[in-house]
Structure formats: C-alpha cells, structure tokens
C-alpha cells in the first residue's frame, strides 16, 4: 500500500457521476500530496459542482506539478463517513480540472499524507479561523 496510485482521470467533469463513465484514457500514476476532509454537506456540494472554484483547492493550488517524472501531485477530497473520495489534479486552477473517483481510500497508505480538516475549521469561531 502506498499513496502513489494509478487511476482513470476525467477532464473538466461537471459532477461525480461523469467520473464513473470516464474510462477513455488509460490509468495514470499519481501521488496523493494532501487529504482534504470536508463535512458531508460540503462534500455533496463539491461532488455535484466539480467545475466550481473551491476555497480548499485554491488554498492548495501550489501543489501542482509532479513528483519525479510524470507523477502528478493530487488532493484526495473526502469526508469521514464514506469509504472513497475524489482525486483532484487542479494543475494550478481553483477547481477540479482533472478528477478521478477513489472507491476505497483504505486501500491506500495515507498515514504520512497531511490532512486539512475543513470539517473542523467550520466549527471554530471566526476569530480563531482568521489566525
């Protein structure tokens, strides 16, 4: 198990259902650079608005590029109560320019991958979030 995986990516998909039909290109190898953990409500919104600019993607757009040769860095967007998630290669944009569905994130070794807990940030008072 490792955080470098092979997956089928879709270009500019509108919603997660579009990812399920995306098998035109062969799988590519990617490296999970960060996990973005959302609330269930945020995750549902993200899954149905993949082309919308998202603050958590904007905050991590610097993670574009590759690890070594031809291994793009990706975000794994997920929530606590699901098995899977969405891999995002934003390529410097603020939306999910390339996205792929992960059916079971437990199949990946993500223990050394940093996690941004957007689900917890919403629970903090505004004054603490701005620090």
pLDDT, tens digit, for every residue of 107-124?
Answer: 887 888 999 888 776 554
Residue 75 lies in a domain: yes
pLDDT of residue 94: 92
Bridge partners, 76 (sequence order): 35, 87
Residue 130 lies in a domain: no
Specify the 3-state DSSP secondary structure of 64. Answer: coil
Model pTM?
A: 0.82
| Tokens 């993949």 belong to residue | 50
Q: What is the C-alpha to C-alpha distance for residues 56 and 88, in angstroms, rounded to an integer?
A: 11
pLDDT, tens digit, for every residue of 14-30?
Answer: 888 877 765 556 677 78
Residue 118 lies in a domain: yes
pLDDT of residue 129: 46
For the chain, the domain total comes to 1
Q: What is the C-alpha to C-alpha distance for residues 16 and 119, in angstroms, rounded to an integer?
A: 20
Residue 98 lies in a domain: yes
Quick one: pLDDT band at residue 2, thresholds 50, 70, 90? very low
Its domain, for residue 85, covers: 4-125
pLDDT of residue 21: 63
SS (H, E, C) 84-111: CEEEEECCCCCCCCEEEEECCHHHCCCC
Residue 131 lies in a domain: no
With 50 as the cut, is the pLDDT of residue 92 above it?
A: yes
pLDDT, tens digit, for every residue of 31-89?
Answer: 889 999 999 999 999 999 999 999 999 998 877 666 656 777 889 999 988 999 999 98
Those residues whose C-beta lies under 8 Å from the C-beta of residue 50, and which sit 6 or more positions away, are 13, 14, 15, 16, 18, 86, 95, 96, 99
């Amino acid at each position: 198990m490792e955080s470098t995986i092979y997956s089928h990516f879709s270009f500019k998909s509108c919603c997660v259902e579009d990812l399920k039909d995306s098998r035109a290109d062969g799988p590519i190898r990617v490296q999970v650079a960060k996990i973005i953990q959302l609330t269930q409500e945020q995750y549902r919104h993200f899954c149905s608005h993949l082309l919308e600019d998202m603050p958590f993607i904007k905050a991590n757009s610097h993670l574009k590029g590759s690890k070594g040769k031809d291994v793009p860095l990706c975000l794994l967007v997920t929530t606590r109560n699901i098995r899977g998630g969405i891999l995002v290669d934003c390529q410097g944009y603020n939306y999910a320019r390339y996205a792929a569905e992960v059916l079971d994130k437990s199949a990946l070794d993500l223990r050394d991958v940093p996690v941004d807990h957007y689900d917890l940030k919403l629970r903090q008072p505004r004054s603490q979030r701005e620090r």
